[in-house]
Amino acid sequence: MTATALVVDDEVDLCRLMQITLTKMGIKSDVAYTLLQAQSYWQVNEYDFCLTDLNLPDGSGLDLVKQISSSSSTPVAVITAHGSMDLAIEALKLGAFDFVNKPLELPRLRQLVENALKVIRQDKDTKSPNARTPEQQLLDSRLIGNSAVMHTLKNTILKLARSQAPVFLSGASGTGKEVVARLIHDLSPRRDGSFVPVNCGAIPSELMESEFFGHKKGSFTGAVADKQGLFQQASGGTLFLDEVADLPLAMQVKLLRAIQEKNVRPIGDTREVPVDIRILSATHKDLNQLVQLGTFRQDLYYRINVIELKLPALNARYEDIPALAQHFLALIAEEWQLDAPSQLTDSAYKRLQQHDFSGNVRELRNILERAITLSESIMIDVNHLGLPELSDNNEALNHEPLNQKALNHETRNTDNVMSHAASNHIATANTTDLPAIKPDQAHNMPSTASTKNGLNAINLHPYRTTNQLYPSAIQASMPTNVRKRSAQNETISNEPSSKLGEDVNKPSSTLASITGLPSKGLEAYLQEQEERLIIAALKQTNGNKTQAAELLGTTFRSLRYRMKKLEIDEDQHSD
């Protein structure tokens, strides 16, 4: 394929240099020296991409960007004077796919042109305009949901994937920001590079600089070898700054500089290392508000938030719940190596659609994981979901989308479990002045509490999945004697019990008596207890999981799930 380009700049020498570079890359190009000339070339000829300066003698290159982006999908990149970042950002917002600074560095120019060529190739591979492209197929398989709001989101993702502009993903916790960030990378010309996600809130502040920029051996105590930072690891690909609001102010300055200069200097190094990255970032916090409060730098906000993509809450797209549920049931079956995916009964689907998902899609997945664990068969019914019973009172949430749903109330066909993917069945909800849980609050809530209506019902929101447990589920599946002890619990063991079936109610000399609450918190305490019981059962049955499950009064599937969650290696616990 011979690509064609339109190059627009009033500096004759620079145009010549760009033309030579393009020719070496097998690209034919025309040169325009003014905006007017560029516009008339554009009208008469067909170009695969356009590279334009912003400062033209008779106008601004931004007008050309606007014209090209609004009338075609042709990639257009801009050349900006050094330091005029504001204009570059404006061009990106108007639809330019990338920018390059003056004085022009040829490697950077070549990189930009390579990216443009990848986008063009991708477009040409899409032969039939009506066929679903591989990109759309990938998007549909990983981002589940066909509601109108998801449809718009998917189209925007496809457009953003072509661009190099920094994207800021906003939305409540569990709405799928990381899923979308990965998709933008996987659909972009950078897909052959690495996608490097980093949880900015999880890095200790004293290690941050070294983590982001790397270090040289001996540059500080503990630097025993050279280390590549995250920026370098992501070079050629995408750096995803998750929980970006949690960056300390001092680090924000350094990050801004690295992003703007596209260079990093590892700690203890004298040289700057060029990096070619696209920045995606996300937070469930209100970054704009943090800027007002002075805890997030405005200039960094402006730099990373060139394009904002807001992810909808699950409560705003209840019609997607059946498809999402089926997606997760299949996924969990595969991950847990179950014989077949579980199925939800009609009432279970209905109950899910009546739930207030403060934890969004993550909460839905967690509810299903727990339900699979608790159900004895392939069918999941309402009682396995562990959601509070609906009454006039607790059904009545002060919850806008739920009330909108009530307006769309439909009766349902109860024949076929699988028919729910396309259905949108919603129960009536009354309004009360009970406040709905805000995602931020929910994020920090203990997972045993059903807080939204003050009822003592089981409604667990373990948002951070990986090692989160479900205390009520654990309680429910514990042997009665163990449960009794937990309920009475004045005496708590931190030592592995030598034998299950001991009188666990009887305080033993190895048990540490405590009168207060567990110092490590409920989750950690329950996790320890569960681990201790499972290991004891495995030891007693010489690693036989079926027998261990029987001893624990639970199912094989449940035991296997818990072992996976707790990372218990069965081989280590058989005699």
Contact residues toward ligand ATP (CB under 6 A) are 143-145, 171, 173-179, 242, 284, 327, 361-362, 365
| Closer CB to ligand ATP, 176 or 471, in the complex | 176
The answer to whether 534 and 563 are in contact (CB under 8 A) is: yes
Token pair recorded at residue 361: 């899609």
| Closer CB to ligand ATP, 95 or 197, in the complex | 197
| Closer CB to ligand ATP, 362 or 405, in the complex | 362
Please report how close the Cβ of residue 324 comes to ligand ATP at its closest, in angstroms: 6
Cis bond before residue 248 (omega within 30° of 0): no
Please report how close the Cβ of residue 274 comes to ligand ATP at its closest, in angstroms: 30
Question: HSE-up of 42 (CA within 13 Å, CB side)?
Answer: 26
Question: Got the DSSP string for 11-55?
Answer: -HHHHHHHHHHHHHTTEEEEEESSHHHHHHHHHHS--SEEEEESE
Percent of the chain as helix, strand, coil, to the nearest 5: 45, 15, 40
Please report how close the Cβ of residue 370 comes to ligand ATP at its closest, in angstroms: 14
- SS3 sequence of 267-312: ECCCCCEECCCEEEEEECCCHHHHHHHCCCCHHHHHHHCCEEEECC
Please report how close the Cβ of residue 341 comes to ligand ATP at its closest, in angstroms: 15
CA distance linking residue 72 with residue 123, whole number of Å: 12
| Closer CB to ligand ATP, 47 or 328, in the complex | 328
C-alpha to C-alpha distances, 241 to 193, 262, 281, 541, nearest whole angstrom:
16, 16, 4, 46
| Closer CB to ligand ATP, 47 or 357, in the complex | 357
CA distance linking residue 227 with residue 111, whole number of Å: 25
| Closer CB to ligand ATP, 174 or 266, in the complex | 174
Q: For tokens 């498809």, name the residue.
A: 323
Please report how close the Cβ of residue 338 comes to ligand ATP at its closest, in angstroms: 18
The answer to whether 452 and 436 are in contact (CB under 8 A) is: yes
Question: Got the DSSP string for 41-99?
Answer: HHHHS--SEEEEESEETTEEHHHHHHHHHHH----EEEEE-TT-HHHHHHHHHHT--EE
Closest CB to ligand ATP belongs to which residue?
176
Please report how close the Cβ of residue 56 comes to ligand ATP at its closest, in angstroms: 42
| Closer CB to ligand ATP, 30 or 135, in the complex | 135
Please report how close the Cβ of residue 171 comes to ligand ATP at its closest, in angstroms: 6
Please report how close the Cβ of residue 308 comes to ligand ATP at its closest, in angstroms: 14
CA distance linking residue 402 with residue 407, whole number of Å: 9
Please report how close the Cβ of residue 465 comes to ligand ATP at its closest, in angstroms: 7
| Closer CB to ligand ATP, 176 or 388, in the complex | 176
The phi-psi region of residue 211 (left if phi > 0; otherwise alpha if psi is between -120 and 50; otherwise beta) is alpha
C-alpha to C-alpha distances, 242 to 48, 60, 277, 279, 557, nearest whole angstrom:
35, 36, 15, 11, 33
| DSSP-derived 3-state class of residue 242 | strand
CA distance linking residue 280 with residue 238, whole number of Å: 7
| Closer CB to ligand ATP, 113 or 183, in the complex | 183
| Closer CB to ligand ATP, 177 or 461, in the complex | 177
Please report how close the Cβ of residue 566 comes to ligand ATP at its closest, in angstroms: 19
| Closer CB to ligand ATP, 48 or 369, in the complex | 369
Please report how close the Cβ of residue 174 comes to ligand ATP at its closest, in angstroms: 5
Write out the H or E segment, with its range, that includes residue 185: helix 177-186
> Across the strands, what pairs with 27?
3
* Residue 212 backbone phi and psi in degrees, to 5: -75, -45
| Closer CB to ligand ATP, 179 or 267, in the complex | 179
Please report how close the Cβ of residue 108 comes to ligand ATP at its closest, in angstroms: 31
Please report how close the Cβ of residue 228 comes to ligand ATP at its closest, in angstroms: 25
| Closer CB to ligand ATP, 178 or 269, in the complex | 178
CA distance linking residue 456 with residue 383, whole number of Å: 16
